[in-house]
Amino acid sequence: MSLILELANKYPTDPMSYSNGKDAYIKETEKKAIRWFESI
């Protein structure tokens, strides 16, 4: 199941928690992308 669906099911009436869940994923993905970019 995708992150978005998992968060929507976990927080159906709590948009702030839903957004916070996406935010954590995006920040971690961005860190990985920066490390990858710096390594090439």
Instruction: Tell me the per-residue pLDDT of 1-40, one tens digit each, with 9 for 90 and over.
Output: 699 999 999 999 999 999 999 998 999 999 999 999 999 9
Q: What is the pLDDT of residue 4?
A: 92
Rounded distance between C-alpha atoms, residue 1 and residue 27, angstroms: 20
pTM: 0.67
Contact of 4 with 22, CB cutoff 8 Å: yes
Total domain count, the chain: 1
The whole-angstrom separation of Cα 39 and Cα 20 is 29
Give residue 13's domain range: 3-39
φ/ψ of 13, rounded to 5, equals -125, 20
